[in-house]
A and B are shown apart, each in its own frame.
Chain A
Amino acid sequence: MASTQAAGGGAPPAAPKSRRSVTGTRRAVAALFLLPALVLLGALVVYPIGYSVIRSFYDQSGDGFAGFDNYQALFTDDGIRTALKNNVIWVVFAPTVATALGLIFAVLTERVRWGTAFKLVVFMPMAISMLAAGIIFRLVYDQDPDKGVANAVWVGVHDTFAQSSAFPKAHPGRESPLEAAPGGGFITKATVSAGTPVTLPLVGVAPDQMPDDAKRAVQAKADPDGITGTTWQDFTRGKGVGTLGGVDASELGYAGLRIEAVKDGKVVASTNAADDGTFTLPAAAEGAQLRLPPDNFKEPYNGVDWLGPSLVTPSIIVSYIWMWAGFAMVLIAAGLAGIPRDLLEAARVDGAGEWQVFRRVTVPLLAPVLAVVTVTLMINVLKVFDLVFIIAPGSSQDDANVLALELYRKGFSEDQPGIASAIAVFLLLLVIPVMWFNVRRLRREVRR
């Protein structure tokens, strides 16, 4: 373009004569050369867009004119409104975070000896299709810590600080002397007295889940000077409860179960059950109720509900960033290579710290590249579909919805082509300003 301008400016005197005589043929030749591109563009771009626009004004069957009904549905339908909201979240966060990470990686790798290797690793996710990435992250975010690596890490960290209990699912069986205590745990219905052994039967813990030191439960002996009793799993494998409320041969004691004696809401004595489930409390516990505090029954920590309604969109955005940060990094690194070194050196000589050099010199010089990367990613994000479609389980697909997915659902599973076309047109309108910005920038760049 610059060269044609220069040529035009260089030879004005000869122009008028030759231009008039050849204009006709020139136009024809130009048209001829443009024709293939025009036909392709027309058939593959203009026609589908035009048809979508027209279709969006027709009803579901495509026979009746519907006016703006489909567009009205667009802004009243709850599903589409969530999709719109999520799209805004996507457009705001995904491109900025990906670009920021890309910038950090690019600047840092420039100074590392193994920079290229590092870049390669960061860029590698780009080689994976969105679909495969989606499947990978569906597994990463799996709720079960045995399958999902995200929860495995999370639970691992959590459990090093807070141990889970040995009897999470233990609960009183039929006709139990225990009842649920206010504030969790269980409490005896009656008070205890010295000389009468107490039985605290519980069920719900399978033999293989018992603590390793648990031994066969033993009926506690009566002790006139203190409270004695047994707490055990009142369930024999293969036989049900056996003797209800009585210790059977193969039943195991609840080794280490915490037992508190409570009088008037105050704990007067407490102990832990022995390996065979027996326990002894001092005479002070006379006339108290025995409580099994809720700590005994704390559920194992199950990790974070990554794909639940509230976290699903951020989780998917993270997977997107995993893919595209590498793309941003490569473009920014290319831009970085083009920055004149002497400017950085000059800044350093003038006494600027590394952070100042980065803030005041590198970033401003990179601004055009950063803008291009962000805008490209924005266009990319507006049409995001595959990751959301694959990662979000059916139950939270509604909460993770984005416009492109809603378009698909309306068009192909709900048989509402009119509304789907309206969404498509709406998406186009959203992309146009971003594209316009990009094209304008590009033109300015070329002019420069």
Chain B
Amino acid sequence: MRSTSSRNRTSRAARAAAAVLAGALAVSLTACGGDDDNGSGNEQGGTGQETGSTVTLPKLNGESLEVAAVWTGAEQANFKKVLAEFEKRTGAKVTFVPAQDPIINFLGSKVAGGQPPDIAMLPQPGAIKQAVEKKWAKPLGADAIKELQENYSQGWQNIGKVDDKQYGVYYKAANKSLIWYNNQVFENAGASEPKTWDELLTTAQTVYDSGVTPFSVGGAEGWTLTDWFENVYLSQAGPEKYDQLAKHEIKWTDPSVKDALTTLAQVWGKKDYVAGGATGALQTDFPASVTQTFTGGDQPKAAMVYEGDFAQVNITQAKAEVGTDAKVFPFPTVGDTAPVVSGGDAAVILQDSKAAQALATWLASPEAATIQAKLGGYLSPNKNVDNSAYPNDVQRKIAKALIDSGDDFRFDMSDQAPQAFGGTPGKGEWKALQDFLKNPSDIAGTQAKLEADAAAAYGN
């Protein structure tokens, strides 16, 4: 009995091995095919196009570079096209290294391993500062600085500086003071774009009366909630307090925070104002929060969704047309002026070389930005990017607003805070605001929790 079973086993094992081998062969064959295709594609691209350019780049044949960023999906694909153009112009080879949030810790392990990428896209001014303090970042060379000064306003140059030395090129910006709405729903309800917070509440009520839930909130990821808060706070408490709170110079138990949370509760706390209720919103991730606003014809799950310009990528994925199906209005004025909260990703050199400097210069040029601008879902702080490069009216409107705001924007507060407080799922500000969304009447408790977490993270 035992012997037969063992014989069976060998024959079965042999068959399995044969199958695995065949599979491996097939895989390697297809892999070869794939490589060939890619190779010829690149060559064709290389010989095919000639463009007159303003930015001068050195010839870098044989050089290879690594660029790390946290971008995924369409955003990553679009950025790779910008890198491909650089490859074509210089002959260098650029590899995109997908990184995880928070990228600064990802880089930490890469640096510890002795192989940092040549350039990393850092999303926060705090991260650039950290990279400089740890002596990872290398200052920009003369060429890159020249390109930067030609194309960027002083404000955008300054947030890439540490101790008066230029380290970062803000390649990508985000305008996080926008509310997207489903045009069909607004027309059905006879609602209009609000300018102030009170008008927003009226609009919300009108939409609700028409039979559609007014807001979609992607509460599964805490950052959408911190962005809501920041807009309300910046407009209501003013830029000075905003800066102080960002540095934790005033406590989260400050009355201004209480006011902002109270205001926020007028939307988050009202029954039926948030799609799926609080529990539903807490399980809705950001892409879903956008899609559910723009699918479902006359009866979408919600009429409005707050988030930055990058929401367009998801709107397009929901098969809705930006500018006709999906429209946008700036975040309404809560206090004296409308808030402009922005974000962005800066290219920072980690391994200094001619090629790395050239790539930084390229990313500071209007041409690089124009390539990605045309593909949509991208906003450049580069003032020399032609407004017509953006694919639609809405994009042009957002881009114009950002460039026109000049140096009056404020950077995302949670991005300026230490990671443990402002950027960790299920912790700190993210978690506190998620709990607040679940229980909007507990303002004092939320403040106390925010302050306790902030004190621990800032260490003061």
Which residues in A have some Cβ–Cβ distance to B below 8 Å? 79, 142-144, 169, 171, 173, 203-209, 233, 235, 237-241, 302, 305, 307-308, 393-398, 401, 409, 412-416
**Known contacts A79-B427, A204-B211; is A393 also within 8 Å of B279 by CB?**
no
> Which of these, A173, A208, A305, contacts B209 with CB under 8 Å?
A173
At the interface, yes or no: B285 with Cβ under 8 Å from chain A?
Answer: yes
CA distance A40 to B34 in the complex (A): 36
Nearest CB of chain A from residue B2's CB, rounded to whole Å: 10
Give how many B residues have a beta carbon under 8 Å from the other chain's beta carbons. 44
Q: Is the CB of A208 within 8 A of B299?
A: yes
CA distance A397 to B430 in the complex (A): 12
Closest to B220 in A: A393
> Which of these, A203, A239, A397, contacts B425 with CB under 8 Å?
A397
Closest to A400 in B: B426
Q: Is the CB of A209 within 8 A of B427?
A: no
Q: Is the CB of B211 within 8 A of A206?
A: yes
Number of A-B contacts (CB under 8 A): 115
Nearest CB of chain B from residue A377's CB, rounded to whole Å: 25
Q: Is the CB of A394 within 8 A of B298?
A: no
Which chain B positions have C-beta within 8 A of A302? 276-277, 280
CA distance A318 to B108 in the complex (A): 36
> Which of these, B282, B298, B424, contacts A409 with CB under 8 Å?
B424
> Which of these, B187, B213, B426, contacts A397 with CB under 8 Å?
B426
Which chain A positions have C-beta within 8 A of B419? 413-415
Which chain A positions have C-beta within 8 A of B434? 394-395
A-B contact pairs, 22 of them (CB 8 A): A143-B279, A143-B280, A144-B280, A206-B210, A206-B212, A206-B298, A209-B299, A235-B189, A238-B187, A240-B190, A240-B206, A307-B283, A393-B283, A393-B285, A394-B220, A394-B285, A394-B430, A395-B431, A397-B425, A401-B426, A414-B424, A415-B108
Closest to A237 in B: B188
A144, A302, A394, A409, most chain B CB atoms within 10 A? A394
**Known contacts A169-B272, A209-B299; is A414 also within 8 Å of B427 by CB?**
yes
Which chain B positions have C-beta within 8 A of A394? 220-222, 285, 425-426, 430, 434
Nearest CB of chain B from residue A365's CB, rounded to whole Å: 18
At the interface, yes or no: B96 with Cβ under 8 Å from chain A?
Answer: no
Which chain B positions have C-beta within 8 A of A144? 276, 280
Binary CB contact string for chain B from 273 to 302 against chain A (1 if under 8 A, 0 otherwise): 000110110110100000000000011000
Q: Is the CB of B219 within 8 A of A395?
A: yes
CA distance A208 to B184 in the complex (A): 14
> Which of these, B105, B277, B285, contacts A412 with CB under 8 Å?
B105
Nearest CB of chain A from residue B273's CB, rounded to whole Å: 11
Binary CB contact string for chain B from 411 to 443 against chain A (1 if under 8 A, 0 otherwise): 000000001100111110011001000000000
Nearest CB of chain B from residue A293's CB, rounded to whole Å: 19
> Which of these, B101, B105, B213, contacts A415 with CB under 8 Å?
B105
At the interface, yes or no: B208 with Cβ under 8 Å from chain A?
Answer: yes
> Which of these, A204, A308, A398, contacts B426 with CB under 8 Å?
A398
